[in-house]
Amino acid sequence: MRPYPLSGQGASLVTAIRNDSGQAVELRILIQLSKGGKTIPFHLEMGRTLATGAVTLVAPPEVGGVLAGLPNAGKPVLAPAPYPVQPLDAYQGAKVTASINSATLASGQFIGAATQNLFDALVAEDKAKRKFFSDLARWVSAGQTQAQIEQALTKRKATADAAYSFTNEAAFTEPGLSQAGLAIIQYEGMASLTSWATKENAAWATKPSIHR
């Protein structure tokens, strides 16, 4: 793989990860700072997906602008959207380490340490999304009206909002999905909602469940 010509502010904080596992992976990338004899988790990036052979550039969130517009050397490169480099004072005199905290393979297998109850949270999120799209597709196929589905989504969002906590990932997922459904039905109409529900339900029905 050709080296990337990085230069300028924050360039030394950028590294690359290539997926040689033979299947697509979803990564959780942990950036840690070691300074003054202490090591602290500084940033955990969730849900970056890499196809087989793909390369991704990894950097602290303040350095996103450095990653924009780099040549891909013939490989697909996934990088955060460009934004200006933010102050880097926290990194002065620190050793910065980027590591793969955990990964989920295309088979659904979870690999890595289940820090901060991450595995349980991902399982809960997985189940919540499957149930949401299954229910939505069932409402659509049953011929429910736009008003009926809006009412059901509004009620579902209100119930999930009330149940929300930082340890309840299913409840965290529900409000966002319900809000997305309401936005689609209100601004794009029933046809778009039907297409979304059908497509997502089919995808989740065939996607392997997360497991160890």
Beta carbons within 8 Å of 162's beta carbon, 6+ residues apart = none
Sheet holding 95-105, edge to edge: 38-50, 25-35, 95-105, 110-112
Neighbour-count burial for 62-85, b at 16+ CB within 10 Å, e otherwise: bbbbbbeeeeeeeeebebbeeeeb
Chain CA centroid to CA 149, Å: 27
Chain segment 72-127, per-residue pLDDT in tens: 444 444 444 444 556 777 778 888 888 888 889 989 999 887 666 788 888 888 98
Domain ranges of the chain: 11-113, 119-205
For the entire predicted model, the pTM comes to 0.72
On the question of pLDDT at 49 being above 80, the answer is yes
Query: How much is the pLDDT for 188?
Result: 95
Question: Could you tell me the pLDDT band of residue 189, with boundaries at 50, 70 and 90?
Answer: very high
